Structure 1
Amino acid sequence: KPVHNAIVWQDRRTAAFCAKLKEEGKEATFQTKTGLLLDPYFSGTKLRWLLDNVEGARAKAEKGELCFGTIDSWLIYNLTGGKRHVTDATNASRTLLFNIETNEWDDELLSLLDVPRAILPEVLDCCADFGMTEKELLGAAIPVAGVAGDQQAATVGQACFEPGLMKSTYGTGCFAVVNTGKQRVESGNRLRGTIAYRIGGESTYALEGSIFMAGAIMQWLRDEMKLIDSSAESEAMARDANPHSQAVLVPAFTGLGAPYWEPEARAALFGMTRDTGAKEVVRAALESVSYQTRDLMDAMGADMKAAGLVSPQALRVDGGMVANNWFAQNLADILARPVERPEITETTALGAAYLAGMQTGFYGDMSNVAAHWRCERAFEPEMAESERAARYGRWQGYVKRVIG
């Protein structure tokens, strides 16, 4: 039974503890070993909070009576009737406790966060034997054969198996991942290094950037601002907005994510005139996601170039927002690169299925999986370079003002 409620990724309760570790000069240690920044976004400091604040938790952990895991571990533990306490390398790599060079839980990091090793799950490949489901649950004992983190599974679902291939998922937030192959790239632009997937004991690495607000901006427009009744309305409203509007929304409602990592920044709407109405605000909201994606792609391109790798030449997209054709076209215009929307946009679930299929022999190898990827529609850049530069320049100026 759980000793406490799950703590979601948006929760910032450990911000002060992260700041303390930074002041002590510990961030470089975490970044070198895990590829991650010291931020409440990741689960390691949340685990420390649970051990320190839930009555009896630390004592149970030290006696081996408590298990920790990300949601995959919790699901597998329950599906297997408590027989398996395991995770995969991609989920482990997001905890601030896992060394992505040695592919092991790291004693120094465990010591810095005061986490007992006994609490941690066994780490397996993404394609592995994670156990069998209890027959009573699903009517049969079914092998659990494929596990990956949300964005890593989407990377597999988008068949981004070669260095330079990049995907971006637009849900509540936006999460962009670019494959760097067997080479772990150290980011000079505050991106995160991570394991894209681990198969056959061999890790493929990636750079990742997170945007905190994407689809969540549409929720704000609907629920708080009452400017739309549903997200589906945003496409027609953006299309009908004044094309010369210079309204720019910087959606730092919970701070700014990559590549800025400014948790104290707050949202602002700039460039309004007497003619600015609901349609222009909705358009500015959609454009803000395109601008943030450009921030990520430029940062990734710079890091890839510095490492001697090919920069992303196109963007494969998925998630609820990309059903909006206006947004997908604007994204291509701001990026100055093709935006490719696949036939199957539920790529996280698809990627998990591919991993299980490779483990059980259904799909063969990655080349067989890649052959299944299909583009439903490609959006080519149409905006003039002068307009693109002007719009993105305004965005950059307003971000600086929000950061202060």
Structure 2
Amino acid sequence: MEGKYVVALDVGTTTVRCHVLDQSTTAIGIASNEIRHEYPHYGYDEIQPDELWTKVVSVIQDAIKVSGVNPSAVSCLGISAQRSSFVTWHRDTGKPFHNFITWKDVRANSLVRQWNDSLTMKGLRAGARCLFTMTRSKRFLAGSVLKLMNAQVTLRLSWALQNIEELKKCVASGDAMFGTVDTWLMYKLSGGKLHVTDVSNASATGFYDPFTMQWANWALKLFGIPVNILPQVCDSAADFGCLSKDIVGAPIPIRSLMADQAASMFGSCCFEEGDVKVTMGTGTFLSVNTGFKPQASVAGLYPQVGWKMGDQTVYVMEGAAHDTGTLIKWAEHIGLLADASESAHLAQSVSNSDGLCFIPAFSGLQAPVNNPRACTGFIGIKPTTRRGHMVRAILESIVFRVVQLYRALQCEVKYSYTTIRVDGGVSRNNFVNQLLADLTGLKVEQPKTAEMSVLGAGFLAGLQTGVWKSKEELQALRHVEHVYEPRTEVCEEYSNILGLWNEALTRFLDWYDS
């Protein structure tokens, strides 16, 4: 086959995907494999590094084989990876000291609580309040309400440094290396030559400062994280060497490395300031492009680096709800759903949820509630409650959490929003999409494919190598399958339902002691 082709790899939380894209951005070869998680103790969530590496190699090989493209005709490879899941390994042998500790892992929850309640953090918050009083900088205002979270790498890494003996010894001797999934992949792909991450993955760790674009030395010192274990931070679009010839028979240049949510923004063509996307995958991530400067938040939203390409750095503001696809899988597991595809039909089989509310907090509640000790559950079950009501209440809760995030976003990042672009597995659910449009008052654009992270990694790599000439060309090639228009009357109908749900939510806060 002739032409220019791009291989795009996305290593998500639940799935490894690889697409071979042609110049029209059509995926002509697709392969995927499920990622197996291990739960050795309560609150632990792990992935075996060698098993993950084997699956990555396999899906790359399979996608190229399915496409029928000669590997020598591939222009480049782009990589997207789940954020904030990390591993540490020996500098000389490359042997991991432990499995990946994923972003869903809460083993460090007691540390999170101790630090948030500590005199040190109270002092930092008080200092930030004083600096805000003097400077009126919103960055310091955000610091005055700063709370550490389980999803950040910081205290999970601190836990590992305190509790894994072999790691402690090798840190002391200078033989330890740290990396998130992207760093581990680049280390393996380069045969141990590269120890790198990109700005979007770094900014999600909790100890990289997007305002200064450097590892935050104060945080490293405070939490005992040695700087010599950290990778070099690179642009998202750069020369990352080549995929080994041994893997596919030809050396394919690696030209992009991105965090999955940044890649999702790029794949959704959210290139303009004020563009909004919502990824509804394992969790929900609402992000807005804030242009060329980071913006601080007091509601628990996070300033992140979207991508850096040449002399242009684009920032995003993000809010997250960590339970979305996990809710659907749970509903399947307990028999509420035979298959995820029937959820929309079941929700629409009843006219309302009959006063039933569901609170989605398997991983606590993130912004703007910010309560890690919240619990999950139904409230308001009656003799009239049926399976359709329960499924509808679950799907409504997914939308209600997005609405919470969107309202917080409106208060802190003031743009004239008109459209939300959605992606991720749950974005295929027409009940969720329509209700999201109704309650936000925005158009909801559903793309032809839900896999924006893999596309974004491919798009950035392709731009870097000249497969596509401009972002405008990519926008022209974007395929929207359906646009959901907001219905004012439905928003009015849901006013009382949403109010009841917010009242129900207060009953589920601070349920757990730790």
TM-score of the pair, normalised by structure 1: 0.93
- Alpha-carbon offset, residue 204 of structure 1: 1.3
Corresponding position of 1:6 = 100
For residues 129-208 of structure 1, the aligned pairs below 5 Å read 129-208=239-318
Per-residue deviation, residues 232-275 of structure 1 (Å, max 9, x unmatched): 11111111124362211111222112211111111231233221
Q: Work out whether residues 79 and 137 of structure 1, in 8 Å CA contact, stay in contact via their aligned partners in 2.
A: no
- Alpha-carbon offset, residue 94 of structure 1: 1.2
SS in 1 for 2:316: strand
What residue identity is the alignment partner of 2:358?
A: L
Corresponding position of 2:344 = 235
Q: Work out whether residues 90 and 194 of structure 1, in 8 Å CA contact, stay in contact via their aligned partners in 2.
A: yes
Structure 1 residues 45, 244: CA separation in 2 closer, same or farther (over 3 Å shift)?
closer
Q: Work out whether residues 194 and 207 of structure 1, in 8 Å CA contact, stay in contact via their aligned partners in 2.
A: yes
Corresponding position of 2:363 = 254
Corresponding position of 1:107 = 217
Corresponding position of 1:291 = 400
Residue 177 of structure 2, aligned match among 67, 75, 88: 67
- Alpha-carbon offset, residue 311 of structure 1: 4.3
Q: Work out whether residues 300 and 311 of structure 1, in 8 Å CA contact, stay in contact via their aligned partners in 2.
A: no
Q: Work out whether residues 353 and 392 of structure 2, in 8 Å CA contact, stay in contact via their aligned partners in 1.
A: no
Per-residue deviation, residues 131-161 of structure 1 (Å, max 9, x unmatched): 2222212211111111111111101000111
1:382 aligns with 2:487: yes
SS in 1 for 2:243: coil
Corresponding position of 2:410 = 301
Corresponding position of 1:330 = 435
Q: Distance in 2 between matches of 1:271 and 1:196?
A: 41
Residue 339 of structure 1, aligned match among 438, 444, 454: 444
Per-residue deviation, residues 55-87 of structure 1 (Å, max 9, x unmatched): 121332243322111000101110111111111
Q: Distance in 2 between matches of 1:184 and 1:155?
A: 16
Q: Distance in 1 between matches of 2:180 and 2:318?
A: 19
1:364 aligns with 2:469: yes
Corresponding position of 1:212 = 322
SS in 1 for 2:285: strand
Q: Distance in 2 between matches of 1:101 and 1:244?
A: 44
CA RMSD of aligned residues (A): 2.1
Corresponding position of 2:112 = 18
Q: Work out whether residues 358 and 377 of structure 2, in 8 Å CA contact, stay in contact via their aligned partners in 1.
A: yes
Q: How many residues align?
A: 399
Q: Work out whether residues 165 and 178 of structure 1, in 8 Å CA contact, stay in contact via their aligned partners in 2.
A: yes
SS in 2 for 1:209: strand
Instruction: Report percent identity of matched pairs.
Output: 35
Per-residue deviation, residues 316-359 of structure 1 (Å, max 9, x unmatched): 10111121212211221222211110122210000000111121
- Alpha-carbon offset, residue 32 of structure 1: 5.3
What residue identity is the alignment partner of 1:13?
A: R
For residues 35-46 of structure 1, the aligned pairs below 5 Å read 37-46=147-156
1:313 aligns with 2:418: yes
SS in 1 for 2:308: strand
- Alpha-carbon offset, residue 101 of structure 1: 1.6
SS in 1 for 2:242: coil
Q: Distance in 2 between matches of 1:20 and 1:246?
A: 38
Q: Work out whether residues 37 and 192 of structure 1, in 8 Å CA contact, stay in contact via their aligned partners in 2.
A: no
Q: Work out whether residues 200 and 305 of structure 2, in 8 Å CA contact, stay in contact via their aligned partners in 1.
A: yes
Q: Give 5+ residue unaligned stretches, structure 2.
A: 1-94, 129-137
